[in-house]
Amino acid sequence: MVEGVVFQKGSHGMMRRVLAVSVVAVVAVLAAGVGAQGTAPGAPSSLTYQVSGGSVWLNWISSPGMTPTFDPNSSFYRLEASPTPGGAPFFVWDSSSRGDTPASRKMFYMLTDFGAGGVGPGNYYVRMRGVNGGVVGPPSNEIMVPVTGGCQAPGAPTDFTAITRGTTVYMGWNDGNGGRPTTYIVDARYQSGGPVIARLPVNKPGPVGTEPQYGGYLNVAGVPTGTYFVQVWAVNQCGSSVYSNEIVVTAPNNGPAIRTADAPTGRVPWFHIRDLVIQIGNEARNLGYLSGTPGVNNDSCQARPGFPFTTDPNNPTLELQKTQRNRYIDYMVAQLRARFDQRIGYNAKVTRANAIIAGDEIAFHWGSDAPQGSPNAYFIDTLGGHCTFGNESVDFRPFFIEYGRWTAAGAF
């Protein structure tokens, strides 16, 4: 929970600002590229909304050319709300107000989601802008956010995508504009428009990485041989949406992993790959790639070139050992690229000074931009207790509340 400024109508229809507690829902991170300090960033894109009562959630794709720094007032996002289309804003919110945690430096102000409660009834015309070194960029697409104080039926899910590996189908989708869903229904047919042969309900995912997750996912193992036409629709207590886009799923798929196609909105949805990550991590452990006896079997926590090896948690050099490539994370990334999708890479860990990569984290590039250096990625911690020598454990911990950047780190 963070404190944010939200808005509502006064008793005579005048707009006034009120202070409320807001819930910030973060799924993804910023735009590709790093511009020079003080240059105008590009426009954010694909601004979307969900509402429930007086709560509003916004989600957008970041501005190209933003300069990531440890100063919240240097680069951030600006929300503008107007009572009329394209009108002057009566309410402005800057993500710099989120600040940061100096000890951890998560760059909260660089994240691309906003949520607030206590919003009064009305139609609000909302747009986002990037601010880079004090220079304000152009606006995103403008959306009309209707707040009724009651519930609203959800919009159709977007970007419905499937990745089939063997007889396991990984499916993911993003939320459309409208009421916040509580459930999704996945329908499969043998032919487009034909009778439904399988109907699979899916509850909306709960908090992941302490933040609500946008969209949903479903994994189905042991899919019988065949070709299926699949769609998903969203449901809440007020109604249901129309169908998403239709996808064609063919099982089994024993071909090489590819790079999944870009999504129409620019954001490939989240896929839940916990079982695969745990399986590959256990393989790495059995190969001896987790740190064990210091100096002998410390493959996941090797000495950084030019620095002495240490096991002392109070020695700053130990942090450097956590921020470079090692045999564990190399094996994890290589195997996921071979067995799942070529969008997998490393996290360049911009939030940690002097980092090469995060030696225990992977990244899935969801953007349509060039992947190298892009912050448009999902991030997953795959190793618990990194550099604790004998106490490390294979892990799967997605996180959406820290800025990161995708990198190949010279591995491919």
Q: Are residues 140 and 163 in the same domain?
A: no
Number of residues that make up the chain = 412
Q: What is the pLDDT of residue 354?
A: 80
- Domain of 319, in residue numbers: 274-407
Residue 355: CB atoms within 10 Å: 17
Residue 265 is assigned to a structural domain of this protein: no
Residue 371 is assigned to a structural domain of this protein: yes
- Identify the band that residue 397 occupies on the pLDDT scale cut at 50, 70 and 90: very high
Span 264-270, mean pLDDT? 96
Q: Are residues 290 and 382 in the same domain?
A: yes
Beta bridge partners of 362: 346, 380
Higher pLDDT, 298 or 125: 125
Between CA 220 and CA 18 the distance in angstroms is 46
Between CA 368 and CA 366 the distance in angstroms is 7
Residue 20 is assigned to a structural domain of this protein: yes
Q: Are residues 346 and 301 in the same domain?
A: yes
Closest CA to 47 of 2, 93, 118, 112: 112
Q: Assess whether pLDDT exceeds 70 at residue 155.
A: yes
Q: Are residues 350 and 323 in the same domain?
A: yes
Share of the chain above pLDDT 70, in %: 87
Q: Are residues 283 and 368 in the same domain?
A: yes
Q: Are residues 219 and 194 in the same domain?
A: yes
Between CA 337 and CA 397 the distance in angstroms is 19
Q: Of 147, 175, 203, which residue sits at a domain end?
A: 147
Residue 263 is assigned to a structural domain of this protein: no
Residue 264 is assigned to a structural domain of this protein: no
Max CA separation in the chain (angstroms): 74
3-state secondary structure of 284: helix
Asked if 346 and 337 count as a contact pair (C-beta separation under 8 A), the reply is no
Residue 53 is assigned to a structural domain of this protein: yes
Q: Identify the weakest region by mean pLDDT among 136-150, 253-267, 298-312.
A: 298-312
Output the average pLDDT for the chain: 88
Q: What is the pLDDT of residue 209?
A: 56
Instruction: Quote the pTM value.
Output: 0.89
Q: Are residues 221 and 350 in the same domain?
A: no
pLDDT tens for 280-315 read: 999 999 999 998 767 666 899 988 888 889 999 999
Q: Of 110, 126, 147, which residue sits at a domain end?
A: 147
What sign results for the dihedral spanned by CA atoms 247, 29, 177, 142? negative
Q: Are residues 112 and 168 in the same domain?
A: no
Q: Of 126, 147, 168, which residue sits at a domain end?
A: 147
Backbone φ/ψ region at 72: left (φ over 0), alpha (ψ -120 to 50), beta:
alpha
Looking at the 3D structure of the chain, how many domains does it have?
3
Residue 258 is assigned to a structural domain of this protein: no
Q: Are residues 166 and 99 in the same domain?
A: no
Q: Are residues 9 and 140 in the same domain?
A: yes
Q: Are residues 11 and 62 in the same domain?
A: yes
Q: What is the pLDDT of residue 297?
A: 67
CATH number at residue 57: 2.60.40.10
Q: Are residues 188 and 321 in the same domain?
A: no
pLDDT tens for 98-119 read: 888 766 678 989 999 999 999 9
Residue 89 is assigned to a structural domain of this protein: yes
Span 188-207, mean pLDDT? 93
